[in-house]
Structure 1
């Protein structure tokens, strides 16, 4: 039985899974200050089913060992699940691009530490 959605993240994950089935997502933990948005750590996760909820993700993020303010998620590809080697390559490419251009956050699904949707506005 799928647990109820309690955050914007939960709503996004269940809607994405309903629309596309199992998929691989890339995510980047971010540190946000009044003046900056900094990529901190990045990883990928294969989403099989729609049972993952925000508390599960926060436990996963704790393993990164860094204080974080927000996270941005991207689907690794339209094909759904991608092999680990491909996910690793796509994540490396995304990480390089985000370090060069923070506006790419707008192309992902951006959430704060409470799992609520954020929007990145131009400075």
Structure 2
């Protein structure tokens, strides 16, 4: 299946580098000057066939409005057990609630699967 979005390119490249892997993801509400974590989960990626339309269908099941999503590999070891993924996701989401700049450490995409960047808003 051809790559049509930045997400598709990312998952193909990540799988080429890591092989099968577990990814953590956080759905985000994105406003003009705010980013709010909404829901989070993990997914075991087996192969590089997953594409953006499949991910969007998965996100519908979250039952929340979202504007963007940030992905992280659960660890350098590739696939991790569910208990490990659950613990790492809990730690990640706790840190994201405290420090939104950690979004920069992940791979951040909008609802169309295109790369987004988090920029700091300076208040006077």
Partner residue of 1:46? 44
Superposed counterparts of 1:1-123, under 5 Å: 3-123=1-121
* d(CA) in 2 for partners of 1:34, 1:59: 25
The structural deviation recorded for 1:112 is: 0.1
* d(CA) in 1 for partners of 2:30, 2:50: 25
Stretches of structure 1 that go unaligned for 5 or more consecutive residues are none
**TM-score under structure 1 length normalisation:** 0.97
**TM-score under structure 2 length normalisation:** 0.97
Cα RMSD after superposing both structures: 0.4
Question: What's the secondary structure of 2:83's corresponding residue?
Answer: helix
* d(CA) in 1 for partners of 2:71, 2:9: 13
Corresponding residue pairs, total:
121
* d(CA) in 2 for partners of 1:35, 1:51: 34
Question: What's the secondary structure of 2:33's corresponding residue?
Answer: coil
The structural deviation recorded for 1:121 is: 1.1
The structural deviation recorded for 1:35 is: 2.1
Stretches of structure 2 that go unaligned for 5 or more consecutive residues are none
Runs of 4+ in 1 over 3 A off after TM superposition: none
* d(CA) in 2 for partners of 1:35, 1:22: 36
* d(CA) in 2 for partners of 1:47, 1:35: 32
Per-residue CA deviations over 1:29-60 (Å, capped at 9, x if unaligned) read 00011121000000000000000000000000
